[in-house]
Amino acid sequence: MSERVSRYIKQQGMVSDGDEILLAVSGGPDSVCMLYIMHKLSCEMGFSLRLAHLNHSLRGEESERDAAYVAELAAALGVPLCQQKVSVKAYQAEHHLSTEEAAREMRYAFLCRTAAEYGSAAVAVGHTTDDNIETVMLHLVRGSGTRGLQGLRPVLNRTVAGEGCLRVIRPLLGLSRAETQNYCCEAGLSPVQDVTNQSTDLLRNRIRLEVLPMLRGINPAFEETILRTAFIAGEEMALLDEVTSQMKAELVIRQDNVLMIEKIEMQRLHPALKRNLLRQMLEELLGGLKDIEARHIESIIQTLDKPAGRRIDLPYKLVFQVDYEHYLLGWEIDELCPYPPFQGEYRLGVGTETILDGWTVKTEVLPSPVGLDLSESTLVAYLDMDKAGSDLAVRTRTEGDQFQPLGMEEAKSLKEFMIDNKIPRSWRARVPLLFSGAEILWLVGYRIGQSAKVDENTRRVLRVEFKLQN
């Protein structure tokens, strides 16, 4: 088994000569097996060890027993040990987490701090193929998407909120749980047993104790099938991540707490690249993907073709918002209003270009409505020239403005229309309005008015284009 672990470590590039590896040892069979194998290999492969044990204080005397047992192992092998005792229950209540989530967060925070304090190159955890299979099934049940099929990775960089980045290695990922237990038995070791592993209150335990045995009855080679699927998914996701990272570096711009990408660039991407790019953007902002589910990504995807101003609220008060020319993801997005501020009223000539504060407005008359590209841009409008007239002006909203949007039989308050169309409050005073006399012909970027729509009787078309100045 030591030779198998040695080959796996070398194959995955887990350890370099001279590294210190921090071993996360709970006292159970998997971590004890890892400790003894890694202790043997440390001399052969030229790395050193340090042990880490976190007492979660969840099982009273059993938790104290586990901590004492790990201390005995460290002393027997002459390996330095870092221990800490915490209250998972208190942390759980403060952060409104499940016991399992709270314990995991506190454990990885402890490991990250300890690795940073002693300069450890990586933290080794004792996950086995059984853990990998259970993780894949857990991800499928929770709906984590294709990415969840890859299960546990041999090596990963894990971002720990408030602590930094932690390099995690899994040297036993090629061994089964039965093999680690046999190793301990044959070596005369007596690892501790966590009785909570037999409780079906936890979803992972229910999968291990109830679901997997049933699936083995259907397909005796079920484990091999899952592991093969996880391996293929991992290889494909690694390639997708590499390609996406290159694209992200080229396309995504960060401004304070907001990530921006041009709409036209995003719309050109394959759906798989869109999803992965959004995932990487979320991960950059949050430092991880905790509480981000496939449904959040899909809700953003379904919003990409919505008009400017549409927004989605995400976990941790993140917001995704559609702009005229960009998609925005982050916090305090309203402060990045795309509309330049301007005041006063501007007269527009027909067949001319007019410079406003931050805008260039071009008007031209087309001799026929045939062949109009109505999907050209949200900043281009086509109106019936004879209905619109030549008395054109641009201003922003004023109190009491009324607007009859295209397709509606009656006018409504402009304020009500802006609210219904989810135009952010901070944007509304900047949205240009195209007028003819007292009639709103176009709420720029959103909707033209009913009064000047192009129909079967239209002879001449007035094309109006707003361009943002650089």
Q: Annotated binding site, which residues?
A: 26-31
Is residue 389 within 8 Å of 462, Cβ to Cβ? no
Is residue 33 within 8 Å of 126, Cβ to Cβ? yes
Q: What are phi and psi of 208, to 5 degrees?
A: -65, -45
* Residue ranges at the known binding site for ATP: 26-31
Q: E-assigned strands of 367-428?
A: 380-384, 392-395, 402-403, 412-413
Handedness of CA 159, 165, 171, 172 (dihedral sign): negative
Task: Provide Rg for the chain, Cα atoms.
Answer: 31
Distance between CA atoms of residues 7 and 176, nearest Å: 16
Distance between CA atoms of residues 281 and 260, nearest Å: 9
Burial class (CB in 10 A: 0-12, 13-18, 19+), 293: middle
Residue type for 189, please? L
Distance between CA atoms of residues 212 and 215, nearest Å: 5
Q: What are phi and psi of 168, to 5 degrees?
A: -115, 130
Distance between CA atoms of residues 312 and 304, nearest Å: 11
128 membership: H or E segment, kind and range: none
Residue type for 316, please? Y
Place of tokens 């402009």: 414
Q: Count the neighbouring beta carbons within 10 Å of the beta carbon of residue 22.
A: 27
Residue type for 105, please? E
Distance between CA atoms of residues 205 and 170, nearest Å: 21
39 membership: H or E segment, kind and range: helix 29-45
Which runs of consecutive H residues, i.e. helices, occur in 46-169? 61-77, 88-95, 99-118, 129-142
